[in-house]
Structure 1
Amino acid sequence: MFRTISARFAVGFLLIFTLAFLILNQSVKEVIRTSNQKIITDDLNGLKQNSSVYVRQAFLIRQYANGELYFGQMAEEMVSELRYATSSEVSAYATDGTLLSSSQPAAFAGQDDADLQQAMQGKTAYLITYDDDSGTVLFSYPVVMDGLEVGILRFSKDFSLLYGQSGRILDTIFYMALAIFAAVFLLSYLLSRHMTLPLAKLARASKAVRGGNLEVRAEIRRKDEIGRLAADFNGMIEQIGSQISTIASDRDRLKRMSEERKQFFDNVTHELKTPLTSILGYGEMIREKGETDRSLFDKGMTHIVEESRRLQGMVLNLLEMSSGGAGSEPFEVTDAGSMLRDVCESMAFRAQRYRKTLVCESGDGLWIEGQPRRLRQVLINLIDNAIKYSAPQAEIAAMAEAADGDVRLVVRNPGETIAPEQLDRWFQPFYMSDHGTPEAGSVGLGLSIVKAIVDDHGGTVRMVSADRMTRVEVTMPAYRTEGAL
């Protein structure tokens, strides 16, 4: 029925305060009633004592032998005197309840005579009649002289002042209690709202998170337990968002790796299949006609040898790229400048074949630690790639220089500008660009082998292309010794 905590708090507080208010009000009424009854009882006891003393003195003065007869004779006088002495309306009755005299018959007419009946039986009794602001007490007791009942005195006393005062006190307490309970209820309700509103915000935020919205936050600026709970909730959502982002990134990376692996496999399969198919085809032709057709035998054997060498080179490159090419070859301290000059000298003839010029610029004392054979292969692949993909009759520059405590190897060649999104792809296996005219048999492993070797040596490689100029930079940690700095 009540689905929110604030509604349950409100109903609970209302029930508790209503019950407490009713109990308090009833308790106050009972206390006032008991107090009034005690006051009336004490007053009536005094009234009885005073009136009994008066009657006894009257009997002693007159010394009447027949008390009942005398009581009837002096009833009118006695009623008048007692009315004046007690400030009450007084009636005198015979022992059988016959009215002898009354100071105000109307005060007793039409009233309940239960008290009179009790007095006729020899008992003292009183009857209280009251409403909101008035109260009257009928008090009767038998008059006893020398052990004999001689008559009955009945009093009607007004206690309106007492009951009026009690009523005002009760009203004051009622309204004060009502105001206090209303204020406490309002304060309790506001306090419960202060506690439940943040919980409602947390509930809405949790529902939004369950719906997939990780941007939601519980905006609760408090320093109590609820505030800490909100802070922990927000931290949890941020952590979940971070984890989901990481998972999404890993998923995309795995997807790319899967696609690259498939592409790599397809490329390897294709590149291996081509020479194998050619070798198989020429082998079958030689087996069938080689003995009778010498020219076919020579041509086929030449082609088989060329394709076998191509296949061997491809396999070696794949082994090198997979980092298995490092083997157990030791690291040695090598002069990168001297190595670059040797490579440029050997690659100059290849550049001339393509009608291009190779310029080498290198300083001395550029010491690095690594595997000379593999480092030489890095330079060969970079220069060979620049020769194949540079512009016609281009001048290719190869440089070795010191840079911030490292050794930088740079190969620069003019040619078509490479789009930024393609730069990193050049270091992927089997990537073939449309720029330039690659040499027949190239399968796109050169730069991927460069990156694998550089990574094994703790260096970095990057490609920059702008304004029809492409630049590949390899940065290697410089080797520092006492003799070579």
Structure 2
Amino acid sequence: MVRTIRAKFVIGFFLIFCLSFLVLNVTLKEYIRSSNRSIITSDLIDLKNNSKVFVRQAFLINHFTNDNLYFDQMAEEMVGDLNRATSSDVSAYTVDGILLYSSNESKFAGRSTEDLRLALEGKTTYTITYEGSTGFVLYSYPVVIDGVKVGILRYAKDFSSLYEQTGRILNILFNLALVIFLAAFLFSYMLSRNITIPLVKLTRASTEVTKGNLNVRLRIRRKDEIGRLADNFNEMIERIDSQIATIGRDRDRLQSLMEQEKRFFDNVTHELKTPLTSILGYAEMIRENGEADRVFFDKGMTHIVDESRRLHGMVLNLLEISHRGASEENKRVDTGALLRDVCEAMDIRARRYKKRIVLAAEDGLFVLGQADRLRQLFINLLDNAIKYSAPMSDLTITGEKPATGATVRFTFRNPGQTLSAEQVTSVFEPFYSGDKRFKEEGSVGLGLSIVKTIMDDHNGTIHMDSSGGQTTVYVELPAAAKGGDG
């Protein structure tokens, strides 16, 4: 396609220049020829006027009753005088076209007699004979004395010098025009090449893009429209590449979320099905046997209550994931006191696992938030630390206010087997259930996702570090201004 454009450029410029050169050459030749005719005509008019004056004077001085007879008798003398006076070859003819005398018959021999024929008819005329760069003129007119035609004078004049001069001028103009047109054609060719080469590159690049290659770039360093077109093309490809990369990341993330969501619902279905099956089984057996077997009755009722509580807890956790606290008003909460209360309550659970909670929290750790949800935040973090810490270990909990006073910071440290970098990155995701080696029976992996939800609702930050046989969770919440409720 682009090669065709380049060929059209070249052929078009070539045809235009050839046609223009031809028209200019023909026009110049015609103009010079017309100019030469004007010069010759003017010169011949002067020649005729001078000759008429000379002939009339001769007739006045030597007047005869018969002018025709005098013209015949004086032809030789008159031709000689006119030849010297006009520097032209002259011939004298009778009114019937008979040659009386000629200063140089060879100049008239073998040439056209059209001018003589027209002069015999009473007309003044001339003919020009071109031979190469020479021009030879035959000029004839009737000699009229007192209204009577007495003879014919015919001149042969060489205008070769005029035609040689105009020929040289024409050659100079021809060569000059040829050089100018060649230079213009060369410039036009270079210009078309300068335009079409980038178009070729652009076409090849766009073809690569249509094939899916987005690594192609145009290397055109120009400051004109083509340069800007190349820059725009590169920027467009970069944006397309960026958008495709973003779409790819979003697609992979969406796929990962869908897989996690499927695992989550599979786990939830399994976890809900197990206690429900157990509750249903004990309930049917108790309905059939009643209190006949008191031991089995007490055991069944205890199992039903425990499983019902576990189901209740799982349902609350599921509801917490979608809860954003829009219906509860934020208040100024003493998180230090709240954390101490939670640690006291969770200490019994820790002792059951042969573990100990060590708390160091400053006073006056106030934040603007929802006390119940912040309590759940601490419960979930402590519960997670208790479940996944090493046996017989101490869990170190700290609460402090940094020097800036803009935030309140809490840390939850527990020794134990560390997590991989991939697990640390994904552990707060809503549907992440983690490695089955660290998963407690009855857990569906909702604890840390609930924590992340609560932190987002309170404009806080949370991150985890797991290395060197210890896992630490850092929690930072905006500190509440002094005063009443928000």
TM-score (norm 1): 0.90
* Residue 441 (structure 2) pairs with residue 444 (structure 1): no
Match of residue 157 from structure 1: 157
Alignment check: 8 A CA contact 2:260 2:432 kept: no
Q: Distance in 1 between matches of 2:152 and 2:356?
A: 152
The 3-state SS of whatever aligns with 1:179 is: helix
2:140 maps to amino acid? S
2:119 maps to amino acid? A
Sequence identity (%): 59
1:263 maps to amino acid? R
Q: Distance in 1 between matches of 2:454 and 2:143?
A: 134
Cα deviations by residue, 1:75-126 (Å, 9 ceiling, x for unpaired):
2232222222221122222222222222222211111111111122222221
Change (3 A) 1:163 1:41: same
Task: Write out aligned runs for 1:43-442 (5 A).
Answer: 43-290=43-290, 295-323=295-323, 326=325, 328-403=327-402, 404-405=404-405, 406-428=407-429, 429=431, 431-435=433-437, 438=440, 440-442=441-443
Cα deviations by residue, 1:185-213 (Å, 9 ceiling, x for unpaired):
33334344444444444444433333333
The 3-state SS of whatever aligns with 1:461 is: strand
Q: Distance in 2 between matches of 1:468 and 1:280?
A: 43
The 3-state SS of whatever aligns with 1:427 is: coil
Alignment check: 8 A CA contact 1:416 1:435 kept: no
Higher deviation after alignment, 422-431 or 359-368: 422-431
Higher deviation after alignment, 27-36 or 462-471: 27-36
Change (3 A) 1:12 1:51: same
Q: How many residues align?
A: 482
Alignment check: 8 A CA contact 2:133 2:160 kept: yes
The structural deviation recorded for 1:422 is 0.4
Change (3 A) 1:150 1:10: same
Alignment check: 8 A CA contact 2:268 2:444 kept: no
2:187 maps to amino acid? L
Cα deviations by residue, 1:266-310 (Å, 9 ceiling, x for unpaired):
221111111112222333344445576555444433322222221
Match of residue 476 from structure 1: 477
Q: Distance in 2 between matches of 1:172 and 1:349?
A: 117
Higher deviation after alignment, 398-407 or 162-171: 398-407
Higher deviation after alignment, 5-14 or 363-372: 5-14
Cα deviations by residue, 1:289-333 (Å, 9 ceiling, x for unpaired):
557655544443332222222111111121122226x47444332
Cα deviations by residue, 1:139-185 (Å, 9 ceiling, x for unpaired):
11222233322222211111100111111111111111222222233
Match of residue 460 from structure 1: 461
Q: Distance in 2 between matches of 1:349 and 1:228?
A: 73
Q: Distance in 1 between matches of 2:106 and 2:265?
A: 126
The 3-state SS of whatever aligns with 2:182 is: helix
2:461 maps to amino acid? T
Unpaired runs of 5+ residues, structure 2, are none
Alignment check: 8 A CA contact 2:2 2:196 kept: no
Higher deviation after alignment, 19-28 or 108-117: 19-28
Comparing both chains, which one has the higher relative contact order based on Cα–Cα distances under 8 Å and sequence gaps of 6 or more? Answer: 2
The structural deviation recorded for 1:45 is 1.7
The 3-state SS of whatever aligns with 1:302 is: helix
Alignment check: 8 A CA contact 2:264 2:433 kept: no
Change (3 A) 1:2 1:95: farther
Q: Distance in 2 between matches of 1:465 and 1:8?
A: 71
Alignment check: 8 A CA contact 2:423 2:434 kept: no
Change (3 A) 1:388 1:273: same
Alignment check: 8 A CA contact 2:135 2:163 kept: yes
The 3-state SS of whatever aligns with 2:427 is: helix
Alignment check: 8 A CA contact 1:401 1:407 kept: yes
Change (3 A) 1:411 1:156: same
The 3-state SS of whatever aligns with 1:463 is: strand
Q: Distance in 1 between matches of 2:211 and 2:160?
A: 72
Change (3 A) 1:344 1:86: same
Q: Distance in 2 between matches of 1:148 and 1:327?
A: 133
Higher deviation after alignment, 221-230 or 151-160: 221-230
Change (3 A) 1:56 1:427: closer
Alignment check: 8 A CA contact 1:427 1:448 kept: yes
Change (3 A) 1:65 1:160: same
Q: Distance in 1 between matches of 2:460 and 2:59?
A: 138
Alignment check: 8 A CA contact 1:89 1:155 kept: yes
Alignment check: 8 A CA contact 1:458 1:476 kept: yes
Higher deviation after alignment, 335-344 or 172-181: 335-344
1:458 maps to amino acid? N
Higher deviation after alignment, 97-106 or 277-286: 277-286
Change (3 A) 1:436 1:96: closer
1:305 maps to amino acid? V
Higher deviation after alignment, 42-51 or 53-62: 53-62
The structural deviation recorded for 1:434 is 4.5
Q: Distance in 2 between matches of 1:87 and 1:73?
A: 22
2:21 maps to amino acid? F
Q: Distance in 1 between matches of 2:348 and 2:426?
A: 29
Change (3 A) 1:6 1:332: same
Q: Distance in 2 between matches of 1:291 and 1:483?
A: 57
The 3-state SS of whatever aligns with 1:111 is: coil
Alignment check: 8 A CA contact 1:267 1:430 kept: no
2:367 maps to amino acid? I
Q: Distance in 2 between matches of 1:164 and 1:430?
A: 104
Alignment check: 8 A CA contact 1:290 1:296 kept: no
Match of residue 19 from structure 1: 19
The structural deviation recorded for 1:134 is 0.8
The structural deviation recorded for 1:455 is 2.0
Backbone CA RMSD of aligned residues: 2.7
Q: Distance in 2 between matches of 1:437 and 1:258?
A: 21
Alignment check: 8 A CA contact 1:2 1:8 kept: no
Alignment check: 8 A CA contact 1:461 1:472 kept: yes
Change (3 A) 1:432 1:85: closer
Alignment check: 8 A CA contact 2:127 2:138 kept: yes
Q: Distance in 2 between matches of 1:327 and 1:115?
A: 120
